[in-house]
Amino acid sequence: MNPNTRSTPHSTPRSTTRSTTTVPLGDRSYPIHISSGQTDTLGRSIRDAIPGISHAVVVMDESVVDPWGDQLCQSLVNGHSANDQAVRVSRIEIPSGESSKSIEQFDRLMQWMLRENSDRASVLIAVGGGVVGDLAGYAAASFTRGIRFVQVPTTLLAMVDSSVGGKTGINLPGAKNMVGAFWQPSLVLVDTDVLSTLDEKIFLSGLGEVVKYGVIEDAEFFAWLETNADALIARDPDALRHAIETSCQCKANVVGEDERESTGRRAILNYGHTFAHAIEATAGYGTLLHGEAVSIGMQMAARLALSLGMFDEASLVRQTELLRKCQLPIDYADADPAKMLPVMMKDKKVAHGKLKFVLPSRIGCVELVDGIDDDLVVAAIGQSTASR
C-alpha cells in the first residue's frame, strides 16, 4: 500500500508555530521538533542540530520525493549561511510498501551508500513513513557499525510512533521486524504540512496509535480526543500538533524509562499490537493498514480485559466510540483464532514460550498480564466478528 498517494490536499491554514519534545536518553537524548508550515526550513534545522554535517544520505519513499523529498534536499543545499560548509547530498528512492523492509533492500542501500563514498561522518536522513524509517534506521545503525540519522516522518503513524524511540529493522519472510537494532536518531522533524498529500485511509489509520496513547497513559488526552476527533479528521494543524506532541511526549517518557524493552515498561506501547500483528500476518500483510489492525487489536485486548474482570463495560464503550469517531474499524470478520494463536506465540514478546498481553485496567492505565487461558483469548478474538 502506497503510504503517500497524492490525494486532494486538505486545506491546512498556515501556521508557523513550532514546539519541541525531548526523548530523555542521557547522552543519546534527542529533540522532536513539531511544526506546521515550515517544510522549507527542514535543512536548516538539520544543519543546526548537526553542526559540521558535510555529507547527507537522503533515503526517501518514492511516493514523497515530490514535493517533500525534493524540498528537503533543496533546503539542505541552499539553507546555509556564509560560514557553513557545503553539504554533499546523495539521494535514493525506496519502493513504497512493507515489502521494502527486506534484506534485499537493506543490501541495496548498503552497497549504494558505499558507492556514494559514505563514511562514519555521513548523516542518513529518512523521509517517509514507517517502512522507510525502519529500513533506513537499520541501515544507519549498521553502516560502519553506526552513523547518525534523522527521521523526517511523512505519515501520521510514523510521526506519533515509528520515528520515535529507536526501534529499527526489517522483516523476515513471515515474521515482522525480526532483524534490526535499537538505534536512536539524532533528531526527529515533524511538520504537519506533509500530511496534506497523505491518502485519507492512511491518514486515518494513524489515529489508531494516537488513541492508543490515551488508553495506555493519559485519560485527559483520551477525553481531549473524544472532543477533538472531528478537528483531527479535518487535519486542523493546531489539533494535529497537539495530538502529535502529546503522543510523542508519552512515547518519549516510556522510551526514556525502558529503551530496550528490558523492564516491561516499554511493552505498554504494544497495547493491541499482539492481536494486531496476528491479524496482519493471517490476513496477509497489506489487507489491513497497521493502524487499522491496531484499532481492531485494541478492541480485542479491551474485551479480553473485560472478560478477566479488570476493565469495565463503560470504558470499553468509550474506546469503541472514539475509534468509530476516528473512522477506524473496530472488528474484523475474517479473524481466525486458530490461525492467530500460533502467530502470537512467535511474537518477540514471548519469552520461554509464555505469551504476555498488555491489557487496560481503566482509560489511561494498562498492565502487563501473563498466564491467560487460551480460551479467553480465543473468545476475545471471536467476539470481534460476533459484535458486528
- Chain centroid to CA 39: 20
Nearest C-alpha neighbor of 328 from the set 223, 241, 234, 233: 233
- Active-site annotation holds for 349: no
- Active-site annotation holds for 273: yes
**Dihedral of alpha carbons 365, 370, 376, 382, sign:** positive
CB of 320 to a second copy, least distance (A): 33
Helix (H, G, I), strand (E, B), or coil: what is residue 124? strand
CB of 333 to a second copy, least distance (A): 30
Nearest C-alpha neighbor of 247 from the set 330, 165, 149, 367: 165
**Dihedral of alpha carbons 133, 300, 205, 41, sign:** negative
Which residue lies nearer to a second copy by CB, 121 or 317?
Answer: 121
- Active-site annotation holds for 145: yes
- Cβ atoms within 10 Å of 177's Cβ, excluding its own: 16
Residue 101 assigned as binding residue: yes
Residue 259 assigned as binding residue: no
What is the greatest pairwise CA distance in the chain? 68
- Active-site annotation holds for 33: no
Residue 166 assigned as binding residue: no
Residue 354 assigned as binding residue: no
CB of 182 to a second copy, least distance (A): 5
Nearest C-alpha neighbor of 347 from the set 272, 291, 295: 272
- Chain centroid to CA 169: 13
Which residue lies nearer to a second copy by CB, 9 or 146?
Answer: 146
| Candidate list 4, 91, 209, 212, residue with the active-site label | 209
Task: Provide the residue type at 269 as one letter.
Answer: L
110 membership: H or E segment, kind and range:
helix 103-115
Residue 256 assigned as binding residue: no
| Candidate list 261, 280, 292, 318, residue with the active-site label | 261
Which residue lies nearer to a second copy by CB, 103 or 234?
Answer: 103
Which residue lies nearer to a second copy by CB, 173 or 284?
Answer: 173
User: For residues 167 and 265, what is the distance between their CA atoms, to the nearest angstrom?
Assistant: 15
Residues that bind a second copy (CB under 8 A): 54, 103, 106-107, 110-111, 114, 117, 119-121, 141-146, 167-169, 172-175, 177-182, 260, 346, 348, 350-352
CB of 99 to a second copy, least distance (A): 15
- Active-site annotation holds for 55: no
- Active-site annotation holds for 209: yes
- Active-site annotation holds for 290: yes
Which residue lies nearer to a second copy by CB, 9 or 264?
Answer: 264
∠ CA 305-308-313, nearest 5°, is 55
Cβ–Cβ under 8 Å, residues 205 and 292: yes
Cβ–Cβ under 8 Å, residues 216 and 360: yes
Residue 346 assigned as binding residue: no
CB of 354 to a second copy, least distance (A): 10
| Candidate list 47, 91, 273, 349, residue with the active-site label | 273
Residue set of the binding site for NAD(+): 96-101, 130-134, 154-155, 167, 176
Binding site residue list for Zn(2+): 209, 273, 290
Which residues are known to be catalytic?
Answer: 145, 167, 209, 251, 261, 266, 270, 273, 277, 290
Which residues carry a binding-site annotation? 96-101, 130-134, 154-155, 167, 176, 209, 273, 290
